[in-house]
Chains A and B, each alone.
Chain A
Amino acid sequence: MASKKIIKLLSLFLIISSLSSKIYAAEECFEKASRSIFKFNMFLDDVIIEPIAKGYNKLPKPIKLGTGNFTSNISTLLSIPTSLLQGNFNQFAHSTGSVLVNSTVGIFGFLNPAEKMGFKSSKEDFGQTLGSYGLGEGCYFVLPILGPTTVRDSIGLVVDSYLDPFAHITIREKELFNISGNNLDYYSVKGATAVDFRSDNIINFDSLEKNSLDLYSSFKSFYLQDRSNKIKNSSDDQDDWGNLEN
């Protein structure tokens, strides 16, 4: 069983490797379909996510902060195995320390004492891990509900569901340190993460919608820049202004 999974994973690696040499970041896998899915996602955002996020923003600050800390602590769990896979032991130590401190002293992650103690939690996933190995992103497309992605990141998403300790105890219904959960726990936390993110970006989204000539391309650009920064673990500005002198 395990060997089958490894063979599947290796096959995927080969597919991406072959794609990465031919396809560049800006290339689309199937633009027309992606644009339709993007429209559908924006509709869902308008009728479901945004109204919930606006309501969430009206909650008292400590509740919002606690929810943000809780979902962030759970997201950091995935950084533990992925940091190890990247060979980034410093990041591994910070993520592990952050989760341990916040899950105990921080009352199941609702508080964030780890930050005050100097632990820097980062959000790493398997897509970034593949990127850190030098694998190109492949072509770009949009997934229903989940949003923008690339060939590399979508494969990373599948692998994440096996690597993530939280997914392991919820959607895989396994036990870890005598803790277990179910599908509902997993999707509730992911939903809360999405609402928390959206509530922090109400103005940014509104401003972008008002001022974009092609909103789809703006989201694509932001997504690709963000992923590139996360892989480099840096947001250092890259100079592509060339010789535009005055």
Chain B
Amino acid sequence: MKRLKVFLTFIFLIINNPLFAYSSDPKEFVQELVTDAIEKLSDKNLTNEEKAKFVEKVAIENVDINALGLYTLGELRKSSNESDLIKYQTAFEKYFLKSLTSRLTDYSASRFEVVDSEKKSASYTIVKSIVNPEDSGPNIKIDWRIYTKNPEKPLIRDLIVEGLSLARTQKEEFSSILSSNNNDIKILTKKLEEFVKG
């Protein structure tokens, strides 16, 4: 009886522990993470603030925000000074978390299924999934670019929706802003900060 109590307490702690990590297998990692996200975001008992905090926590732990920030900056990451880069990365993280919360909330009323995965290299696995919107719209194919350099800790680097890379789109959006502003990283950082405040 005592053993059973200990076991049940252990299970309870694991399930409720906010630091409970997702699987290290890329396919299971995506399935667990998205199932968790859809469940939380469609929970009517949670406030918007609680939902936003959950998304932030999950994203910080499971998305390679640092690499994504550098990737979207393009070649400018090589020529910018460290101080500007730190300011940009800080603004980018806030921008990313805000837009991710908004995007995930938009798609939370959907059914989600991981259908396949393909190991591209030692560093990357593409996990293929299908999202079925609740409004009976057509199924959406989403591929997840998972960075697996550390096999114990997979990280999301990109979402490819119906063949369209969101990271690449973000990169090209930033590139357009930079090219019309003399490649000034400070202006891009300011625009990111304005988005977060707005």
| A and B pair up | yes
Tell me the A residues contacting B by CB distance below 8 Å. Answer: 26, 57, 61, 199-200, 202-204, 206-207, 210-214, 216-218, 220-222, 225-226, 229, 235, 237, 239-241, 244-246
Taking a contact as CB atoms closer than 8 A, the residue among B64, B161, B169 that contacts A246 in the complex is B64
Q: Mark each residue of chain B from 157 to 173: 1 if its CB lies under 8 Å from any CB of chain A, else 0.
A: 11011111100110011
Q: Does A218 contact B64, Cβ atoms closer than 8 Å?
A: no
**17 A/B residue pairs, CB under 8 Å, sorted by A:** A203-B106, A203-B107, A207-B107, A213-B174, A217-B172, A225-B168, A226-B163, A229-B163, A235-B141, A237-B126, A237-B160, A237-B165, A239-B120, A241-B71, A241-B157, A244-B71, A245-B149
Q: Which of B37-86 contact A (CB under 8 A)?
A: 64, 66-67, 70-71
With A212-B173, A216-B176, A222-B164 given, can you name 18 additional A-B contacts, CB distance below 8 Å? A26-B172, A200-B138, A202-B137, A207-B107, A211-B99, A213-B177, A213-B192, A217-B176, A218-B172, A220-B176, A221-B172, A225-B168, A237-B160, A241-B67, A244-B67, A244-B71, A245-B123, A246-B66
Query: Would you call A221 and B168 a contact (CB within 8 A)?
Result: yes
> Which B residue's beta carbon lies closest to that of A224?
B172
Please, which residues of chain B bring their CB within 8 A of the CB of A211? 99, 102-103
The reply to whether B160 and A246 contact each other, CB–CB distance below 8 Å, is: no
Q: Which of B136-192 contact A (CB under 8 A)?
A: 136-138, 141, 143, 145, 147, 149-150, 155, 157-158, 160-165, 168-169, 172-177, 191-192
From the candidates B135, B143, B169, name the one contacting A57 in the complex (CB within 8 A). Answer: B135
Q: Which residues of A contact B168 (CB under 8 A)?
A: 221, 225, 240
Across the A-B interface, the 9 shortest Cβ-Cβ residue pairs: A235-B163, A217-B176, A211-B99, A221-B172, A221-B169, A217-B173, A229-B163, A207-B106, A244-B67
User: Is B7 positioned at the interface, with any CB of A under 8 Å from its CB?
Assistant: no
The answer to whether A213 and B137 touch (CB under 8 A), given A235-B160, A239-B120, A246-B64, is no
- Size of the B side of the interface (Cβ < 8 Å), in residues, is 45
Residues of B near A57 (CB, < 8 A) are: 135
B residues whose Cβ falls under 8 Å from a Cβ of A = 64, 66-67, 70-71, 99, 102-103, 106-107, 120, 123-124, 126, 133, 135-138, 141, 143, 145, 147, 149-150, 155, 157-158, 160-165, 168-169, 172-177, 191-192, 195
Q: Is the CB of A222 within 8 A of B173?
A: no
Q: Are B133 and A203 in contact (CB under 8 A)?
A: yes
B67 to chain A, nearest CB (A): 5
CB of B173 within 8 A of CB of A221, answer: yes
Contact at B164–A226, with CB atoms within 8 Å? Answer: yes
Number of A-B contacts (CB under 8 A): 91
Q: CB distance A213 to B173 under 8 Å?
A: yes
From B64, B155, B161, B191, give the contact of A213 (CB < 8 A): B191
Quote the shortest CB–CB distance from B113 to chain A (angstroms).
18
Q: How far does the alpha carbon of A57 sit from the alpha carbon of B137 in the complex, in Å? A: 9
Give the shortest distance, in Å, between B98 (CB) and chain A (any CB).
Answer: 8
